[in-house]
């Protein structure tokens, strides 16, 4: 387990709220469906789970998930291993960014065909909440009270307890069924930005928010890194793909001070992204430029 220590922290690190990375892959995971030759089918070391964060407060014993992915059973097991609880699922809540495959479909495992959870709070923006409330099979989760919907508002902080606050930040991205948000997650000592999906930093500029300003407000930033560069997918024109390439993000952030660049941890990597794997030229370029790729099981103290 990697732990990013809190500089100058006086209290026992075991009492510090923390985030743990439970997955770093794009919605389809790694290996992806249909990629029969991928070594990940037989080598667990070549697998990567769909993007998710866990939030733990060791003092209160509370735990939260950010995203409900198709890998939720394994991710919940990993969270149980790190922060055991007798309750099932032992979640004080789940925060959803939007209604794309990898970010909410794990809710199905809370239903009566699987865990049969009771009253798990699910935090979502209004359109997202309405989508879950009015479309099966998700509406059954609401009707059976496996989940309880709690609506969010853009830039309106949610106070989880005395030490933790989560603030949704609306971002431009495909909105077929719901709004799309990232989250600022704040603890007593540190803050983390989580934006797994966004169309482009320039479009966010046009909406009145600069990513550089948001970076300045946090200590760590998990940012959309779905694709490394144009040309990554053979035979496809990627110029219109609704994600900032890692190369574009690094170019935009190149003039930032070293300390600001060091906050960035790229996440939500597609199965084609060469930056997924240590030792690649892409990974070396990222590291040499002052950035990082998120690693599963890394822990950030808040």
Domain that holds residue 235: 15-31+48-301
How confident is the model at residue 241, as a pLDDT?
65
In a domain, 244, yes or no: yes
pLDDT higher for 156 or 244?
Answer: 156
pLDDT in tens, 72-125: 999 999 999 999 998 889 999 999 998 988 999 999 999 999 998 999 999 999
How confident is the model at residue 77, as a pLDDT?
96
How confident is the model at residue 11, as a pLDDT?
47
In a domain, 10, yes or no: no
Supply the mean pLDDT for the chain: 91
- CA of 40: how far to CAs of 8, 27, 44, 46, 70, in Å? 40, 16, 6, 4, 17
Residues 6+ apart with CB under 8 A from 126: 151, 152, 153, 179
pLDDT in tens, 245-291: 999 999 999 999 999 999 999 999 999 999 999 999 999 999 999 99
In a domain, 38, yes or no: no
In a domain, 41, yes or no: no
In a domain, 145, yes or no: yes
In a domain, 71, yes or no: yes
The enclosing domain of 105 has a CATH number of 3.60.15.10
In a domain, 4, yes or no: no
In a domain, 7, yes or no: no
How confident is the model at residue 231, as a pLDDT?
65
What are the structure tokens assigned to 256, written together? 């930032």
| pTM score of the predicted model | 0.93
């Amino acid at each position: 387990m990697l732990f990013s220590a809190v500089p100058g922290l006086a209290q026992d690190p075991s009492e510090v709220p923390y985030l743990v990375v439970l997955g770093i892959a794009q919605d389809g995971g790694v290996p992806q469906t249909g990629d029969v030759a991928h070594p990940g089918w037989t080598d667990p070391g070549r697998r990567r789970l769909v993007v998710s964060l866990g939030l733990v407060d060791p003092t209160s014993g509370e735990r939260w998930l950010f995203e409900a992915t198709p890998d939720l059973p394994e991710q919940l097991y990993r969270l149980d291993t790190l922060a055991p609880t007798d309750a099932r699922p032992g979640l004080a809540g789940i925060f959803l960014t939007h209604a794309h495959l990898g970010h909410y479909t794990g809710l199905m495992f809370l239903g009566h065909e699987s865990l049969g959870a009771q009253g798990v709070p699910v935090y979502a923006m209004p359109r997202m909440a309405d989508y879950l409330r009015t479309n099966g099979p998700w509406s059954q989760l609401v009707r059976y009270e496996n989940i309880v919907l709690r609506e969010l508002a853009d830039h309106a902080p949610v106070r989880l307890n005395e030490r933790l606050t989560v603030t949704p930040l609306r971002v431009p991205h495909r909105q077929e069924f719901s709004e799309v948000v990232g989250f600022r997650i704040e603890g007593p000592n540190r803050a983390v930005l989580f934006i797994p999906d966004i169309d482009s930093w320039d479009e966010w500029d046009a909406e009145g928010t600069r990513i550089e300003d948001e970076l300045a407000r946090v200590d760590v930033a998990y940012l959309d890194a779905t694709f490394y560069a144009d040309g990554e997918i053979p035979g496809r024109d990627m110029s219109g793909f609704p994600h900032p390439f890692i190369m574009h993000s690094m170019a935009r952030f190149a003039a930032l001070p070293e300390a600001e660049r060091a906050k960035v941890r790229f996440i939500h990597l597609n199965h084609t992204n060469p930056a997924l794997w240590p030792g690649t030229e892409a990974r070396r370029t990222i590291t040499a430029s002052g950035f990082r790729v998120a690693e599963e099981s890394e822990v950030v103290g808040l």
